[in-house]
Amino acid sequence: MRRLFVAGNWKMNTLAKSGVALASGLAAELPASHPGVQVAVCPPFPYLSAVGQAVAGSGVELGAQNASQEKPGAFTGEIGVDMLVDVGCQWVILGHSERRAIYGETDELISKKTAAALAGGLSVMLCVGESRTEREGGQTEIVLDRQMAGSLSGIDAEGMKRVVIAYEPVWAIGTGLTATTEQAECAHRHLRNWLSTRYNSPLAEATRILYGGSVKPQNARSLMEQPNVDGALVGGASLKLEDFLPIVRAAQSLRPV
C-alpha cells in the first residue's frame, strides 16, 4: 500500500513570524514521522531556513515551491537546487499551474528543472492539470499526457523513485471548486496508466499521485479514500493549522498504525 502524502503549498503567503508559528504548531502536533502518512510544508524561499528549523526533528518535511534548472552562476534572482538542499529541503514543487500560466514555464523547462532537482538530491512534486476550457472541450487526458510526456522527458525509472505526481485541475485551484471524487479518481487512474505505459507497471503502482485543488478538511477524506489518490497538495487550507491538521488527520485515519 502506498504511503499517503499531504503537502502544504504556502505560495507567496506568510511572513517570518506567522510562517514559523504555523510550522511550529504543526511540528508540535506531528512530533514524529508517521509510517502511513508523510507530511511536508513548502514555504516561500526567504523562510525556508527558519521554517526548516521549526520542523527539524519532527514528522514534517521541508519543500520549496520552485527551483532553477541552472547550476550556480550568473542568474540574477534565481534559486539553485544546491541552495535548497543546503537549507534543508527534501522536496521541490515543479510545474505548478501558476508557474506555467503566469511565468510561462513550458513542459520543456519543467523537465530540465526536474532533472536538475533529482540530480541535486531533491524529491519532486510534479504538478499537471487541465484548464476549465480544456476539460469542457474533452481534452483533459490529452493535456495530461502532453504535460507528463514533456515534463518527464529524459527522466528514467530510477529518477522516478523520487517523483510524486500532483494532479491539480487548474479550474479547482483556489476557486473553492473541487473535482468530484469520480473526476479525481478517473484522472488519477489515467495518470497511473500513463506511467505504466511510459515506464512499467511496478513503477506505476509505486508512484504516488496527489490531488490538489481546493482540498479542505470537509472533502479531504473522501478524495484520499479513492484507490488512486495517494494524498493531497494543499494551497489555501495549508495556511491555517486548524484547516491543515484535520487534512493530515484524515490521511492518518486512512492509514492506521
Least Å from the CB of residue 232 to ligand PEP: 8
- Of the CA atoms within 13 Å of residue 194, those in its CB half-sphere come to 22
Q: Which of 215, 224, 248, 250 binds ligand PEP (CB under 6 A)?
A: 215
168 is catalytic: yes
Q: Which of 168, 185, 230, 243 binds ligand PEP (CB under 6 A)?
A: 168
Q: Which of 8, 63, 231, 236 binds ligand PEP (CB under 6 A)?
A: 236
Burial class (CB in 10 A: 0-12, 13-18, 19+), 83: middle
Least Å from the CB of residue 10 to ligand PEP: 10
Please state, in angstroms and rounded to a whole number, the distance separating the CA atoms of residues 27 and 18: 14
213 binds ligand PEP (CB under 6 A): yes
Stretch touching ligand PEP by CB under 6 A, among 13-21, 59-67, 230-238, 248-256: 230-238
- Of 209, 242, 205, 214, nearest to 224 by C-alpha is 209
Burial class (CB in 10 A: 0-12, 13-18, 19+), 53: middle
Stretch touching ligand PEP by CB under 6 A, among 73-81, 102-110, 191-199, 211-219: 211-219
**Cβ atoms < 10 Å from Cβ of 138:** 8
Binders of ligand PEP: how many residues, by CB under 6 A? 13
Catalytic residue among 168, 185, 188, 190: 168
**DSSP class per residue in 7-54:** EEE--S---HHHHHHHHHHHHHH--S--SSEEEEEE--GGGHHHHHHH
Q: Which of 31, 137, 174, 202 binds ligand PEP (CB under 6 A)?
A: 174
Least Å from the CB of residue 256 to ligand PEP: 26
Least Å from the CB of residue 16 to ligand PEP: 22
Q: Which of 92, 124, 173, 248 binds ligand PEP (CB under 6 A)?
A: 173
- For 101, phi then psi, to 5°, come to -80, -40
- Residues 4 to 33 in contact with ligand PEP, rule: CB under 6 A: 9
- Residue 25 region by backbone torsions, left for phi larger than 0, else alpha for psi between -120 and 50, else beta: alpha
User: What SS3 state is found at 92?
Assistant: strand
Least Å from the CB of residue 169 to ligand PEP: 9
Query: Does residue 47 contact residue 16 with C-beta atoms inside 8 Å?
Result: yes
130 is catalytic: no
235 binds ligand PEP (CB under 6 A): yes
**Which triple of cell numbers denotes residue 91?**
522536496
Stretch touching ligand PEP by CB under 6 A, among 76-84, 104-112, 129-137, 167-175: 167-175
Query: Which residue numbers are catalytic?
Result: 96, 168
Binding footprint of ligand PEP on the chain (CB under 6 A):
9, 168, 173-174, 212-215, 233-237
